[in-house]
Each structure stands twice: as structure tokens, then as C-alpha cells.
Amino acid sequence: ASVMAQDNLSVVLHAQGDLRLENRPIPEPGPNDVLLQMHSVGICGSDVHYWQHGRIGDYVLKNPMVLGHEAAGRVLKVGSGVTHLKAGDRVAIEPGVPREMDEFFKNGRYNLSPTIFFCATPPDDGNLCRYYTHNANFCYKLPDNVTFEEGALIEPLSVGIHACRRAGVTLGSTVLICGAGPIGLVSLLAAKAMGASQVIITDLSAERLMMAKELGADFQLTVKREDGALQLAQKVEDTLGARPQITIECTGVESCVQTAIYATQSGGVVVLVGLGAVMCTVPLINAAVREVDIRGVFRYCNTVTKMTRTLEPTPHCRSRDRQHDDRHELDSDLRKITEQVQRNRLWETSCLFSHVAGYVGNFHNFFYCIKMKTK
């Protein structure tokens, strides 16, 4: 059957708690767009938050919105102005597309543009649907050795890369990561790939810390809810042998932000990746008198091209077993996270995949399961 004869089943959020499966028209690509048949789409914590609360900060759901922004698919059609992609290409999608050439675009920080289009952020539709159009310049060809599922994971991995860039992770850096959920794990991968010599990671969950160890964390520290921020900072120093130069905070929990500041060495950097309450009490004077820089992270920019190139095998190793070549450690670790996700061990935070080119109805069951696990 022709593409146009098939259903474009879409997961649409109408209001807080009101999630529906709908057939929508199959869109036609504009001159600079491509029409994609979606293959794998992750469920991010933001998707779940919009479903449960109807808003994230200033982004408020006012009209029905298609969810999904961690995605990979296959090109079906290309617009008249598109020359670098063709039908049949497998691509990863960067969900943030600048709408105008403003000062942020010109400075290379287009993620901060106030008018940016971003999938599944009100009022912009996402790509948890069978067919979707996207700006071709923000679709990136996947190497043959990278699966669609791994291609979709490039999006959350970009958050970790951007966080490590903002932190200044480099050869020999010592790093504390607060939180071993999916974003903490991709930050771990990025920190190691960028040269961090020692990474210590904290979490309440022993299971998550086990996964972090498998992915290369040098030290794992189990947090107890009764631990105070100063107490936990001291445990970090005792375990590492010194205060870390960099802390990447991935939980958004107030006590963890406090720990991040106390734990970081004087002159170091704290990067805030996790988003929590609008107002947060932190030891700001402690950071000020020790010249601890506190830096924010908002999504990412200029990451996906480097990611796809990093994951592509070199001619030298194409004939060799990939797992024996150091250049493929990141690819192998992406696969570990994918397998972990598919075993449903990270449901409560992020990234359960669905093959949306097939039947999408199981998403209703998935969100029901999420609801049960978060009660």
C-alpha cells in the first residue's frame, strides 16, 4: 500500500492526564524538510511530566500536542531544497530547530533562542507518531552499525555531552555525578569519553549504581534519604580522596544541589542539569567565597554531528569485531543502556522505546504502567 493510504497513528496529549491515540493526516515535507517514517521513539521524563501535570515551568499545555522527542526514523520523501538526504536514509532527529537567525543562533547557542521549535514542548508537536516531517538540516544519517534504538538515544546522550562541555571536562578531570538515572549515566559516558580520570556517582538505588559501575564509574556511593548535604559531601571526599573538580547535578533535588556545592573543590564547577522546584535554597555564600562556578544547562546544541561521527567505524576496524576496538566503547555502552531500558529497568525515569512504525496502542498500557510505578 502507498504511504498516503496508511494511518498516521499518533500519541496526543489533550490535557493533564488525558492521553489519546489519534489518526492524523500524513504531512507533506516543505522545501527544506523531510518526511520520516518513525521507527524508535523514547519516552522522556518530560513526556511523563506533561502527561501528569500539564506543564513544565513556563511551558503550559493549552492545545493538543503530540508527545516524543527522542527519535530515529527512515526518510520517505525529501523537500525540493534538500540535497544531503535521500529516501531510505536512516536518521537521528535533533528536536530543537531555530526559527530565526537571532543573536543566539549567530553565537552558536541556538538552544537558548526564545523562539526555537522543540518537539513535544508546547505548542510544538513531537514525533511519537508513524509519519513526521522535520527540518532536514536537523536530521543526521546514522552509520550502518548504529541501530534505530541507539539513534534515538543520541538525543539524551547529547544532554550529557553538553553538560560536560559546560563543565569543562577534559583530560584528567575528577568528576562527581549526582544521580544515576539515564541522564546521569549518559553524563558518565560523556565524561569518560572526554578524558575524566575519575568519576564518582551517587544514587539511592543500588541497581542503578551497579549499571553505572558497568558503564565505567570508578566509584559508586549509595545515598540514604537521611544523609545531610555536608555529610554526603564528606563521604564523596573520603571516597575519592579529594574533592572533585567538577560536579554534574542530574537530580534537581534541593539537597543534592546543596551537596554538589559543598562537595566541589574551591575554584571548581557545578553544572545543574536536573530541574526541580522553581525556588531552591542553596549555600550560595559557600560557593562565592570558594569561587565555585555554578552553571546551568538547557538542552544542548552542536552535539549530534560529532556523535554520529564518533559512532561510525573507521575503515581500519570495519572487518574486526567491534567490541575489541576501543573506538567502539561508546557504541557498546549505548547498546548496554538500550538493553537495560528494553528490560524495563528504567521505566520510572525515562526512555522506554516503541517501534512506532508498527502498532502504537501499547503506549496507553505503558503510561498506565508508569502511573502504577510512580504511585
What is the per-residue pLDDT across 7-19, written as a single tens digit (0 to 9) for each?
899 999 999 999 9
Domain stop point among 236, 268, 296: 296
pLDDT of 350 higher than 90: no
List, in order, residues 6 or more apart from 1 with CB less than 8 Å away.
Answer: none
Same structural domain for residues 164 and 119?
Answer: no
Over residues 186-206, the mean pLDDT reads 97
Same structural domain for residues 260 and 282?
Answer: yes
Same structural domain for residues 8 and 109?
Answer: yes
Same structural domain for residues 175 and 86?
Answer: no
pLDDT of 316 higher than 60: no
Same structural domain for residues 20 and 141?
Answer: yes
Asked whether the bond before 27 is cis by omega within 30 degrees of 0, the reply is no
Nearest CA to 272 out of 285, 254, 290 is that of 254
Same structural domain for residues 73 and 141?
Answer: yes
CATH for 240: 3.40.50.720
Question: Residue 228 domain-assigned?
Answer: yes
CA dihedral 254, 256, 257, 263 (to 10 degrees): 150
Predicted pLDDT of residue 306: 76
Same structural domain for residues 131 and 172?
Answer: no
pLDDT band at residue 313 under the 50/70/90 scheme: confident
Count of beta carbons in the 10 Å neighbourhood of residue 81: 11
Same structural domain for residues 280 and 180?
Answer: yes
pLDDT band at residue 358 under the 50/70/90 scheme: very low
Question: Residue 255 domain-assigned?
Answer: yes
Domain stop point among 227, 261, 296: 296
Count of beta carbons in the 10 Å neighbourhood of residue 86: 12
Predicted pLDDT of residue 351: 38
CATH for 109: 3.90.180.10
pLDDT of 143 higher than 60: yes
Over residues 290-298, the mean pLDDT reads 97
Same structural domain for residues 232 and 350?
Answer: no
Q: Could you list the residue range(s) of the whole structural domain that residue 202 is in? A: 157-296
Buried b (16+ CB within 10 A) or exposed e, 1-29: eeeeeeebbbbbbeeeeebeeeebebbeb
Question: Residue 227 domain-assigned?
Answer: yes
C-alpha 6: how far from its chain's center?
A: 31
Query: Radius of gyration over alpha carbons of the chain, in Å?
Result: 21
Predicted pLDDT of residue 310: 76
Over residues 301-315, the mean pLDDT reads 78
Task: Indicate the average pLDDT of the chain.
Answer: 86
> How many helices (H) and strands (E) would you count in the chain?
11, 19
Predicted pLDDT of residue 315: 58
Phi/psi of residue 361, nearest 5 degrees:
-65, -25
Instruction: Classify residue 373 as exposed, middle or buried by CB count within 10 Å of its CB (0-12, 13-18, 19+).
Output: exposed
pLDDT band at residue 164 under the 50/70/90 scheme: very high
Total residue count of the chain as it appears in this document: 375
pLDDT band at residue 357 under the 50/70/90 scheme: very low
Domain stop point among 232, 261, 296: 296
User: CA 247 to CA 265: how far, in whole Å?
Assistant: 9
Predicted pLDDT of residue 337: 57
